[in-house]
Each structure stands twice: as structure tokens, then as C-alpha cells.
Amino acid sequence: MTREECIEAAGRILARARARRDSLPIEEAYYPGGPSRESIRAQIIRQRYEAEEVAARPAQ
């Protein structure tokens, strides 16, 4: 596997993990020792907004 393929695979894994976390209620996304509930809420809201912006861009 090339470096580029590894980076692409890691990106896909990260995207799936973020999508799964973002689909959870805040209480389920929280885990002890991790970010605070408020931090998780802010991150999810920010990432959803960013995803909507990307989806709204015209295809290149």
C-alpha cells in the first residue's frame, strides 16, 4: 500500500468515525476522561456546519 493510499484509507476511517459520533446523542458521545459534554456538543455542531458547507459547494 502506498503512502497516498494509507492517507486516503485513514481519511475514510476518520470520516466514518466522525459521522457515527455525530449521529449519537451528546450523552452517548461522551466518555469519561474525554472531552467535556459541552466541548463535544460544540465540535459536533461545528463539524455538521462544515459538512453542510462542503456539500453545498458545486462539484468541480
In tens, the pLDDT along 18-27 reads 888 888 888 8
In tens, the pLDDT along 5-18 reads 999 999 999 989 88
Number of domains in the chain: 1
Distances in whole angstroms, Cα of residue 41 to Cα of each of 13, 22, 28, 56: 21, 9, 11, 23
* pLDDT at residue 7, rounded to an integer: 96
Question: Is residue 2 over pLDDT 90?
Answer: yes
36 lies in which domain range?
Answer: 3-56
* pLDDT at residue 13, rounded to an integer: 96
pTM attached to this predicted model: 0.62
Cell 475514510 found at: 12
